[in-house]
Structure 1
Amino acid sequence: MSFFQGRIIGAVSALFLIAGCTTLGGDPGSQTGGSANGGGIQSPLVLGTGTFEPEGVPSFQSTGTEVGERVQSLRADLADIQAQIREQNEALQAQRRQSRESAQSYHALKSDINAKLQVGTTPGNPRLVSQWNEAQSELGDVDQSIQRMNSLSSEVSSTASETGYLLESIRSTFTLSGAVDADHDHLTVLEDAANQTAVLVDRLDSELTEDIQRQTSYLSTERSNLNALSVAIENGEYTGVSLSNRIYGQAQPPSPDGAAGRLGQERPLAIITFRDENTRYEPELYNAVNQVLERRPNAGFDVLAVAPEGDSEGESALATNRTRRDGERVLRSLASMGLPAERLSLSATNSPLVDQGEVHVYIR
């Protein structure tokens, strides 16, 4: 193993680094996006600010004609539509307030957790676990707000359809016989008001759709960050935001035989030796993968469980199974740090190059 630049040996684990790769386990506050007061905390959720209040419906004195009666009926329909828009606007503003409040509470909790992790704490600190649960609950409130906004979006779309139908009805009324000049004057004013209402409901629909998209993206990102934070709490030290924040494009697919063919031929990003179930490796692994993604946002990672060759076929099989479980643990850690499944692969092999089980992580 002379090609490795160095290694870090803790009380229960050893992790080797490839030559030319920055050292694992560096100062967590120096990572991109880190800070002394919150470790890369994003700004609270940003939503639209528009309000959608119809100007009202003009009043007309009845002309006594059949067309005049039709005008009054159309006016009442427009008043109903505008009442719906006012209710939908109020619902939108209420959901925005709830989402902003939940996001602010979530970020405050995340800031407190990261501040404690950056100075170090006990693994699985129950106070941080409780705060993490509260943060998860706040994100759940944002999710509920998205669901209510989706329902509201359906209502707004229905209102938009009603407005379009009303406009067609107004325009077709111009062609009816038996109207006086005042009827057509009233229809013109009513058409203008309906047009303004149509523009307003379109704006409402558009801004509501943008809010849903923003919240959905925000929720996905923060859930990944929260998963990464759970790893840090489990280890009692800060790692960073979800690695999914650094991913762009698609990674190359893994080779059909996994990373077995790379053993002894290429330098892995890391080699992890498990001494027992308490082996701690996640912070160093996070830092190593994070540094790779800074340079290569489209990178994937292949996990290879390498077991020593036993004196018999049975011993080799037992060693392979045991080491593969260690590889599965590393794979789960990478996934919890925010790496999607398509960026990861797991394979296992036996090799005379090792005298104890190791898990190698290769850059794809």
Structure 2
Amino acid sequence: MSSSLRKCLLLGASVILFGCSSSSDWVPSLTGEPLPPAPQQEAVRAEEPAPAIQAEAVAEPVVISAMDEDGASSGTVVGRKVEELRSEYLGLDRLVIQNAEALKALQGRTQANSLAYYSLVAKMNSRLQNGTTPGNPRLVGQWNQSQEKLESIAQDVVDLNTLASQIAANASMSAYLVEGIRATYGLSGALEEDHASLAALEDDVNRTVVQIDRLLNDVSDAINRQSTYLASERRNLQTLSLAIANGELYGGSLANRAFSVLTPTVGSSPRTETPGESRAVEEVRPAMATKPLVVIRFDRENVDYQMAVYQAVSQALDRYPQARFEVMAVSPSIGNPAQVAMASSTAKRRAEEVLRTLSQMGLPIERVQLTAATTDKVEGGEVHIYLR
């Protein structure tokens, strides 16, 4: 009985040992560790292909079109050239926008300076018209302010010239881009997308060329207009300075009348003398003749002749814009040589004074000739102004 039981136990133990050696790979573990996959399942998984998305991502890179919506290059020689030209065009377009903004700012600044200048001039003319003292300090201060405003306008003209140079450089750049686009059309190896992008770029450049031409014309007009205005107002301000010094209202510069082309006045009447006016000055109707236009007799000190000279010369220039003038120092020939020489020297000094007055009134000095003469028909020194 005991021997039979022993045999059964030995047989059972051998069966258990055989099972553990052949099935340890798939029998559940009593320790709780994860089971390795069965050999057959691993073989099946090894034979399965990778997912289709992963295979496509590895095998096929992203391909960019010849010219996508963002303007990327197609990769061709022509495409790279188009990209280069477009980059240069974008830089040019930014410069054109800056030029337009600068022109607008300059025009606004010049307008403000002009308004301030004319306001000051109007105040001075109003005070002179109503009557004031010679060399009024208030008018002198306003005149100085007007001079500063004119200098500000002069600086605006300098800035306009600088801007014109910048716009001209942009015009040269636009011409270069136009030629570059035309040359790119002739390159081989282009795609249809390249030529389409090139045509769009050409349209943009042509529109910019029109803007540059318009800006250049506007700046040129502004420079010419402001330069003429500045020169004219400088002459007027010079005449106004003389008016303030004498406390009288004259008018515009004689230079502005001399350079204008006016229709000759027919039937001009001579100036009528106002009551109480000094008879030290005689006026003769302007005419191309040997008669003097103005006769100034210096028979006493401080002869007030400026207004009469201004009106006579102004009237002459209205009729003959290109007229020239002769300022003659006339002295008496009666007396001993010393007296004649002294009278001649005094008359010449008076003539030089009249010449300076005409220059301050704006008459170009090159249009005035200074001469001297002696005669027995005058008793004291005189200055004659002739129209030549």
Q: Distance in 1 between matches of 2:169 and 2:341?
A: 63
Determine if the alignment matches structure 1 residue 322 to structure 2 residue 322. no
Give the corresponding residue for 1:83.
94
Give the corresponding residue for 1:337.
361
Per the TM alignment, residue 291 of structure 1 is displaced from its structure 2 partner at its CA by 2.0
Q: Which amino acid aligns with 1:312?
A: N
User: Does the 8 A contact of 1:309 with 1:316 survive in 2?
Assistant: yes
User: Does the 8 A contact of 1:174 with 1:184 survive in 2?
Assistant: yes
Determine if the alignment matches structure 1 residue 126 to structure 2 residue 137. yes
Q: Which amino acid aligns with 1:344?
A: V
Aligned mate of 1:106, from 117, 121, 126: 117
Per the TM alignment, residue 274 of structure 1 is displaced from its structure 2 partner at its CA by 2.7
Q: Distance in 2 between matches of 1:296 and 1:179?
A: 71
Determine if the alignment matches structure 1 residue 297 to structure 2 residue 308. no
Aligned mate of 1:95, from 90, 106, 111: 106
Give the corresponding residue for 1:353.
377
Residues 79 and 59 of structure 1: CA distance in aligned 2, closer, same or farther (over 3 Å):
farther
The equivalences for 1:232-311 within 5 A come to: 232-248=243-259, 266-275=290-299, 278-311=302-335
Where in structure 1 do 4 or more consecutive aligned residues deviate above 3 Å? 275-278
Determine if the alignment matches structure 1 residue 161 to structure 2 residue 172. yes
Per the TM alignment, residue 270 of structure 1 is displaced from its structure 2 partner at its CA by 1.5
Give per-residue Cα distances to partners, 1:246-297, cap 9 Å, x unaligned: 22479xxxxxxxxxxxxxx943121112356633211121112222222332
Q: Distance in 1 between matches of 2:247 and 2:131?
A: 6
Q: Which amino acid aligns with 2:138?
A: R
Aligned residues: 293
Structure 2 unmatched ranges of 5 or more: 1-68, 262-288
Q: Which amino acid aligns with 1:300?
A: R
Could you say which structure has the higher helix fraction?
Answer: 2
Identity %: 42
Give the corresponding residue for 1:226.
237
Q: Distance in 2 between matches of 1:277 and 1:319?
A: 15
The equivalences for 1:11-22 within 5 A come to: none
Per the TM alignment, residue 170 of structure 1 is displaced from its structure 2 partner at its CA by 1.1
SS in 2 for 1:303: strand
Q: Distance in 2 between matches of 1:143 and 1:115?
A: 26
SS in 1 for 2:72: coil
Give per-residue Cα distances to partners, 1:148-195, cap 9 Å, x unaligned: 111111111111001100111111111112210000000001011111
Per the TM alignment, residue 310 of structure 1 is displaced from its structure 2 partner at its CA by 5.0
- Relative to the length of structure 1, the TM-score reads 0.77
Residues 273 and 266 of structure 1: CA distance in aligned 2, closer, same or farther (over 3 Å):
same
Q: Distance in 2 between matches of 1:180 and 1:326?
A: 88
Higher RCO (Cα < 8 Å, 6 or more apart): 1
Residues 298 and 101 of structure 1: CA distance in aligned 2, closer, same or farther (over 3 Å):
same
SS in 2 for 1:272: strand
Determine if the alignment matches structure 1 residue 71 to structure 2 residue 82. yes
Which structure has the larger Rg? 2
Residues 59 and 123 of structure 1: CA distance in aligned 2, closer, same or farther (over 3 Å):
farther
Residues 352 and 173 of structure 1: CA distance in aligned 2, closer, same or farther (over 3 Å):
same
